[in-house]
Amino acid sequence: MIESMSHGIGVDIAFLLLATLAVVTAWRVFRTDSMVRASFFLLVSFIAVGVIMILLAAEYLGVAMFFMMAVEMTVMALFMVMFMMNPAGLNPMNMVHQERISIGAGVVSFLVLSAMALLAVFPDRPVSAGLDPVRSLGNEMLGDSMLIFESAGLVLLTTMIGVVVLSSHRGRYGAATEGSLPPGLESGGDPAGKPEEDEDGEDGGHHHHHH
């Protein structure tokens, strides 16, 4: 495979560095205290993979990776600051469940996949030197695979509409949050984050019961 793909030692060194960067930052995503930092670590991992794609001559995909993921991760960081606890990472954070099973599942899937990578025999048919990857991708997207590509666009549009409906304040029958209450701080307790109600007032019917 090495002979067929003509590249210099520089590409190999760059690949090794980028691969290390991608894996280390991917690992740091789940090992950092701050969720904002986590989303930017994920972005670095994506960018490293994008550069590897450019090294593989997929020049459009690699660069597309940069801007797609840049916007996605900004939005992610924004949501982190809005909704999540501890976005600044000032306190240690370890919000995990079933960690042993998860580590096991991660290690097993890595081992199985890498065994496949090392043991399976894949055909050796590298990209021919004369191919223009960007042009061939464009011709494919708006040629033979137009239906697939346009369906993806349609699904994206549907998603946009669905998302607006889901996150809208107004539902069909009034406010989207009507009738819902935050859970108590302890199970079965009074709703959290609400102003203290007058306990001995006559409108005891407003007292909410949680199950």
Partner 1 sequence: MIVEELVLPVLMVFFMLAAGAYTVAVLDRVIAGALGTPQTGSVWIAPLARGAWLMTQHANATEAPDWRAWRLAPALYLSLAAIGLAVVPWSGSLVATDLVTSVVLWGSVEALATVVIFLHGWSANALFALIGGYRYVALGLSYILISMFVLIGVALPAESLQFTQVVASQEELWNVIRQPLGLPLFLIVGLGMTFWGPLNLADSADLAGGTAAEISGPPRLVWDVARAAMLVAFSGVATSAFLGGWLGPWLPGPLWVAIKMLAVLLVLLLLGRLLPRLAPERCVTLMWVILLPLSFIDLVWAGVGALL
Partner 2 sequence: MTLATLLLLAAALIGIGIYGALSQQSFVMLMMGLELILNGVMLAAVAFWAFSGAGAPEGQLLTIIVMAVMAIEMTMGFALVVAVFRGKQADTTESLTGLKH
Residues from 155 through 194 that contact partner 2 (CB under 8 A) = 155-156, 159-160, 162-163, 166-167, 176-177, 180, 182-183, 192-193
Distance CA 13, CA 46 (A): 19
Distance CA 60, CA 77 (A): 26
- Contacts of residue 76, defined as CB under 8 A and 6 or more positions apart, other chains included, come to 39, 42
The CB-of-78 to partner 1 minimum distance in angstroms stands at: 6
Q: Which tokens go with 62?
A: 């690699």
Q: Which does 84 bind (CB under 5 to 8 A by kind): partner 1, partner 2, none?
A: partner 2
The verdict on 198 binding partner 2 (CB under 8 A) reads: no
The CB-of-99 to partner 2 minimum distance in angstroms stands at: 5
The verdict on 133 binding partner 2 (CB under 8 A) reads: yes
The CB-of-137 to partner 2 minimum distance in angstroms stands at: 4
- Contacts of residue 201, defined as CB under 8 A and 6 or more positions apart, other chains included, come to none
Number of chain positions touching partner 2 (CB under 8 A): 91
Asked if 154 contacts 146 with a C-beta cutoff of 8 angstroms, the reply is: no
Interacting positions 60-99 with partner 1 (CB under 8 A): 60, 63-64, 66-67, 70-71, 73-75, 77-78, 81, 88-90
Amino acid at 116: M
Q: Which tokens go with 76?
A: 């992610």
Question: What dihedral do alpha carbons 76, 82, 84, 87 form, nearest 10°?
Answer: 80
The verdict on 28 binding partner 1 (CB under 8 A) reads: no
| Residues lying near partner 1 in the complex (CB under 8 A) | 34, 36-37, 40, 43, 54, 59-60, 63-64, 66-67, 70-71, 73-75, 77-78, 81, 88-90, 132, 134
